[in-house]
Homo-oligomer: A and B are copies of this chain.
Amino acid sequence: MTPILNGSNARPGPSGTRDVLPDEMRELRDMTRVMVDLLDDAGYGEVRTPTLEYERAMDGSELGPRAAYRLIDEHGDALVLRSDMTVPIVRVAVTRYEPNALPLRFSYLARAWRRVKPRSGEAREILQLGAELIGSEPADAAVELLELCGEALSSAGLADWQIGLGDGRILGELLASSGVSADDAEVLLEAVRDQDLVTVDSLAQRIAIPQAATIARTRINGVDLEEFDPVGLGINPASPAWSDLTAVVRALSPEFRARVVLDLGLAPKIDYYDGLVFEAYDPAIGRALGGGGSYDALLRAFGSSASGFGFALDTELVHAAVAGEERGEGS
């Protein structure tokens, strides 16, 4: 009897999802195991949280990415498929640990679900690898996690990764000190976040703050920081954003600093990032492999005054970048 594997009764999965077959799965598994072990060895113990959370339990997290998938369970409770692991980990930290346990270091390899635009090629399900450091001195935490993120990328087999580093407050402080209206500032910051430079330019011209358009485009190699003059861009060198950013860059190892670009137009994609923010790139892939930043505001929303800093990498994008580098792309 010949089997008829014609698939007549089967359809492919929803857009933004895919099947991973054994050969690719073996590579992905080997790669993520190395990365998980690296984080664990660095003291970032892996945690697992439910994929389904009460919608109301995420109330402290209106700062997090909006949940894409909401459902009602058999008891009539509204549940969401988590869109992010930082919020659940903050929930774990504040509910399962005593204050004297700080600082807390956690890692995860976990799925998150996001809303996708049709035909965007975006993934509905992301398998994220990440780390969170809660309750450490902010600049120390930033340096530790930036370097850990770099080590994770190297351990995955990536050679050419780079880090874009910014702080959403820099432009905000300039606009506030220039007396720009709150409405104009909001539109401008949103345009910067979306890298909509046409809107940035026209608005910067209308409100007569041309430096805003320059800042949105300014990228400084980490090794060139000492020669850079912020005053020419209207940035107060004594402002918290500028001094935090430069202190972190100066504390990074020379090898890491050589991979860092200060991107003054880099704005946080998630609302809980309230200070330093960064993204990881590789020339073989045309989008960020992941990123991170500081999220003290999220801890405050959960009733804690501790500082938080974390990052997350999209493991499938990292794997695609490794494959791209092997094919010589981007070099």
Number of A residues whose C-beta is below 8 Å from B?
81
Q: Is A250 an interface residue (CB 8 A)?
A: no
Q: Smallest CB-CB separation from A8: which chain B residue? A: B303
Q: Are B17 and A52 in contact (CB under 8 A)?
A: yes
Cβ–Cβ < 8 Å partners of A77 in chain B: 14
Counted per complex, copies of this chain come to 2
1/0 per residue, CB under 8 A from B, across A58-79: the answer is 0110000000111101110101
Q: Does A244 contact B (CB under 8 A)?
A: no
- Give the 6 A-B residue pairs with the shortest CB-CB distance, closest first: A22-B45, A17-B50, A3-B306, A20-B48, A9-B60, A7-B95
Q: Would you give 28 A-B contacts (Cβ < 8 Å), ordered by A? A: A2-B99, A2-B305, A3-B304, A3-B306, A4-B303, A4-B305, A5-B303, A5-B306, A7-B95, A7-B302, A7-B303, A8-B303, A10-B60, A13-B54, A13-B57, A14-B50, A14-B52, A14-B73, A17-B53, A19-B96, A20-B49, A21-B45, A23-B45, A25-B48, A29-B36, A33-B33, A52-B124, A74-B115
A binding-site residues for B, Cβ under 8 Å: 1-15, 17-23, 25-26, 28-29, 33, 36, 40, 45-54, 56-57, 59-60, 68-71, 73-75, 77, 79, 81, 88, 91-99, 101-102, 106, 111, 113, 115-116, 118, 124-125, 135, 299, 301-306
